[in-house]
Chains A and B, each alone.
Chain A
Amino acid sequence: DIQMTQSPSSLSASVGDRVTLTCRASQSSSNHVNWYQQKPGKAPDLLIYAAYHLQSGVPSRFSGSGSGTDFTLSISSLEPEDFATYYCQQSHDVPYTFGQGTKVEI
């Protein structure tokens, strides 16, 4: 199985900050990495697919990059509603696997 490792596990930031979350795959996943946002008690929401494609309806302050084994999710200017947990997931190979998450806290 491809293991996905996210860093940091949590970070503290303020409204307006730029933040960058990282995700490393244990083997090459090409560009087949997706990012999700999850708020407490809710299902994950798809933000970015195939490394850098913005899902419809997602604000443009979110962006993704990377290929191979190293990927990043950036939020250009944090809004209050962005405080949540973010997960990366590889869809390169079955079984699909997720990272352990990065919690973005105020």
Chain B
Amino acid sequence: QVQLHESGPGLVKPSETLSLTCSVSGYSITRGYYWDWIRQSPGRGLEWIGRIYHRGTTSYNPAFQSRVTISVDTSKNQFSLKKTSVTAADTAVYYCARSPRETGIFEYWGQGMLVTVSS
């Protein structure tokens, strides 16, 4: 059973960097699939942020690209999201997810983590 679990600070100050990690269990990241970050907020709904393949290939939503980095640590079976210079508009529930190949079909999701941007 594939399980994903987000972790990281739940509160980030404006202009600082948001950092989240997704731990994967029940499946080795190195076996394939793409690993995605998605966020959800009342004002913007569900937004796809970007994805990474276990070999490090990434693809980003242009709306986030300049301030987002997704990386993978295969030794820990984890992948991560960093977003710099956050504002209150980045307050959202952040999800990690898995999609087969480059299909963009999100078949497994983490439970989600609320990140609040506030001083």
Contacts and interface: CB of A to CB of B under 8 A. Distances in A.
Query: Do A and B bind?
Result: yes
Interface of A: 32, 34, 36, 42-46, 49-50, 55, 87, 89, 91, 94-101
B59 interface: yes
Contact of A95 (B45, B48, B107): B48
B104 interface: yes
B95 A55 contact: no
Where chain A touches its partner, the secondary structure class is loop
A32 B104 contact: yes
Interface residues of B, number: 18
Interface stretch (B23-31, B70-78, B83-91, B109-117): B109-117
Where chain B touches its partner, the secondary structure class is loop
Contacts of A94: 59, 61, 104
B62 A95 contact: yes
B107 A44 contact: no
B46 A43 contact: no
Contact of B104 (A55, A87, A91, A99): A91
A100 B109 contact: no
B11 interface: no
A69 B109 CA distance: 26
Contacts of A101: 45
B46 A87 contact: yes
A56 to B, nearest CB: 9
Contacts of A100: 45
B63 to A, nearest CB: 7
A44 B45 contact: no
6 contacts: A44-B46, A49-B103, A49-B107, A91-B103, A94-B59, A96-B104
